[in-house]
């Protein structure tokens, strides 16, 4: 049956909590989850408030507590309704959880999953719109997952929680309504997962993650209509990042356009470009690689500026056509 991205996340929670008694979830808003859209509705009623714990406004301690429970035999899922709020917990996520196993010589596993929601737009402004997945992909020891489809939203959540390493799972509020046909949940080994070609093409490689992977697929349809066959790579797992799939694609297409819903400098788009040119001989590139990212500014609130701020399918299509050297008709 067709299920939306948000509902699919809830299916993932349900699968995990029904089957694994050691899984619990903790975070702000879980007893009235308007914060998290329809992705956790009534989990507290279904599984009880001992396993679905709403918390005080204490991001750092709650994240540390999730880590502590993970060291004690549980598989907690720590919820941050916004990436912005999670920044108060960076010490526990980056300096503690991500390094814990290493600091103790690999003697302990740290099966904690931190889920944060990227929730842009809605005139919320600079402090409720940060994505920053590039930050966390930068940290050895922290796996970073970013689903772009309903199936991945559900199955990558399951894979994250079943993984014995700390995982940051970043879902995107702008995808909650996107529906697709879903089979039953599957349990995948996160260590085996990575970037995937979600549409084959030979003229240009489009790369995105999460919401921007969704944009790339839409752009690919329009490009097809314009006679340009693009290959779309959905990165899915940002850390550890496997560059081979994209590199392979670019060897074929010679054109690379990377789209990211985060800032440019030291961001994901630049990383993908660097990873490709490290691997692909310059001669194989038919043009300079291009990245489309957020402008170098915090998120504005004013509607008109907000509409200019985020990448759009049209912008992708125009840029892609220019890149492959196709003239657009003035119409």
Partner 1 sequence: MGVRPDVRRPTELTQLGDLADATQFHDALTLPPGDNGWLLDALRRMILIRAAEELIGDMVAEGKIRCPCHLAIGQEAPAVAVAREIRRGDRLFGAHRSHAHYLALGGSLRGLMAEVLGKATGASRGMGGSMHLLDLEHGLYGTVPIVGATIPIAVGAGLAAKMDGAGGMAVSYFGDGATEEGVFHESLNLAAILRLPVFFVCENNLFSSHLHIQLRQPADSVVRYAEAHRIPWERVDGNDVVATARAVETAVMAIRSGQGPRFLEAVTYRWRGHVGPREDDDVGVKRKEDLAKWKGRDPIRRLADALLDAGALSEAELEASWAQARGAVEKAWEGALEDPFPPAEDLLNCVYVRGQ
Ligand X SMILES: Cc1ncc(C[n+]2csc(CCOP(=O)(O)OP(=O)(O)O)c2C)c(N)n1
User: Can you give the binding site for its own copies, defined by CB under 8 A?
Assistant: 60, 84, 87-88, 90-91, 94-95, 98-99, 102-103, 125-127, 130, 132, 134-135, 137-141, 238-241, 262-263, 265-271, 273-275, 277-283, 285-291, 295-298, 300
Q: What beta strand segments (E) does 212-260 contain?
A: 230-234, 237-239, 256-259
- Lay out the sheet containing 256-259: strands in order across: 196-199, 230-234, 204-208, 256-259, 290-292
Among 71, 90, 197, 315, binds partner 1 (CB under 8 A): 71
Closer residue to its own copies (CB): 96 or 149: 96
- Calpha distance 329→320 (Å, rounded): 14
Task: Find the binding residues for partner 1 in span 108-137 (CB under 8 A).
Answer: 108-109, 122-128
Q: Which does 282 bind (CB under 5 to 8 A by kind): partner 1, its own copies, ligand X, none?
A: its own copies
Closer residue to ligand X (CB): 88 or 313: 88
Find the part of the chain contacting partner 1 (CB under 8 A) among 23-31, 193-201, 271-279, 282-290.
23-31
Closer residue to its own copies (CB): 226 or 277: 277
Q: Which of 171, 119, 162 is nearest to 144 (CA)?
A: 171
Find the part of the chain contacting partner 1 (CB under 8 A) among 11-19, 161-169, 257-265, 323-331.
161-169
Contacts of 40 (CB under 8 A, 6+ apart): 9, 10, 13, 25, 30, 33, 52, 79
Contact flag: residue 57 with partner 1 (CB under 8 A): yes
The distance of closest approach from Cβ of residue 302 to partner 1 in the complex, given in angstroms and rounded to an integer, is: 3
Contact flag: residue 168 with partner 1 (CB under 8 A): no
Q: Encode burial over 187-209: b for 16+ CB neighbours within 10 A, e otherwise.
A: ebebeebbbbebbebebbbbbbb
- On whether the CB atoms of residues 207 and 216 are closer than 8 A, the answer is yes
Task: Find the binding residues for partner 1 in span 286-325 (CB under 8 A).
Answer: 295-298, 300-305, 308-309
Q: Which does 90 bind (CB under 5 to 8 A by kind): partner 1, ligand X, its own copies, none?
A: its own copies
Q: Distances in Å between the alpha carbon of 254 and those of 198, 201, 205, 290? A: 18, 11, 8, 12
Active site residue 224: no
Closer residue to partner 1 (CB): 102 or 314: 102
List contacts with ligand X (CB under 6 A).
Answer: 28, 57, 59, 85, 88
The distance of closest approach from Cβ of residue 108 to partner 1 in the complex, given in angstroms and rounded to an integer, is: 7
User: Catalytic residue among 15, 128, 133, 243, which?
Assistant: 128
**Mask 75-94, x = binds partner 1 (CB under 8 A)?**
-x-------xx--x--xx--
Eight-state DSSP code of residue 113: E
Per DSSP, the three-state class of 252 is helix
Cis geometry, peptide bond prior to residue 240 (ω within 30 degrees of 0) = yes
Q: Which does 67 bind (CB under 5 to 8 A by kind): ligand X, partner 1, its own copies, none?
A: partner 1
- Calpha distance 47→134 (Å, rounded): 34
Task: Find the binding residues for partner 1 in span 188-247 (CB under 8 A).
Answer: 189, 191-192, 240
Structure tokens at 217: 């697929």
- On whether the CB atoms of residues 105 and 74 are closer than 8 A, the answer is no
The distance of closest approach from Cβ of residue 70 to partner 1 in the complex, given in angstroms and rounded to an integer, is: 7
Q: Can you state the angle between helices 150-162 and 5-19, rounded to 10 degrees?
A: 30
Residue 296's CB is within 10 A of a number of other CB atoms, namely 8
Closer residue to partner 1 (CB): 18 or 126: 126
The catalytic site residues sit at 128
């Amino acid at each position: 049956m067709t299920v939306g991205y948000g509902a699919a996340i809830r299916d993932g929670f349900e699968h995990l909590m029904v089957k694994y008694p050691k899984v619990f979830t903790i975070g702000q808003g879980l007893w009235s989850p308007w914060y998290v859209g329809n992705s956790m509705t009534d989990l507290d009623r279904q599984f009880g408030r001992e396993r679905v714990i709403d918390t005080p406004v204490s991001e750092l301690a709650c994240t540390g507590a999730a880590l502590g429970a993970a060291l004690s035999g549980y598989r907690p899922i720590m919820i941050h309704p916004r990436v912005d709020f999670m920044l108060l917990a960076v010490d526990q996520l980056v300096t503690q959880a991500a390094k814990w196993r290493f600091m103790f010589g690999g003697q302990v596993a740290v099966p904690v999953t931190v889920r944060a929601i990227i929730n842009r737009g809605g005139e919320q402004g600079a402090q409720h719109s940060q994505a920053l997945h590039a930050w966390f992909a930068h940290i050895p020891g922290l796996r970073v997952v970013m689903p772009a489809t309903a199936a991945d939203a559900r199955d990558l959540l399951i894979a994250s929680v079943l993984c014995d390493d700390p995982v940051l799972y970043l879902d995107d509020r702008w995808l909650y309504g996107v529906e697709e046909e879903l089979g039953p949940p599957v349990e995948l080994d996160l260590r085996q997962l990575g970037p995937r070609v979600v549409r084959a093409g030979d003229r240009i490689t489009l790369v995105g993650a999460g919401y921007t992977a969704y944009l790339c697929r839409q752009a690919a349809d329009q490009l097809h209509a314009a006679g340009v066959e693009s290959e779309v790579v959905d990165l899915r797992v940002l850390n550890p990042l496997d560059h081979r799939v994209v590199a392979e694609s670019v060897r074929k297409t010679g054109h690379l356009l990377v789209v990211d819903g985060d800032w440019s400098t030291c961001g994901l788009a630049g990383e993908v470009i660097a990873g490709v040119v490290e691997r692909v001989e310059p001669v194989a590139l038919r043009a300079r690689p291009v990245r489309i990212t957020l402008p170098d500014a915090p998120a504005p609130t004013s509607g008109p500026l907000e509409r200019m701020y985020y990448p759009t399918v049209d912008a992708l299509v125009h840029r892609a056509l220019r890149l492959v050297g196709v003239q657009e008709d003035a119409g």
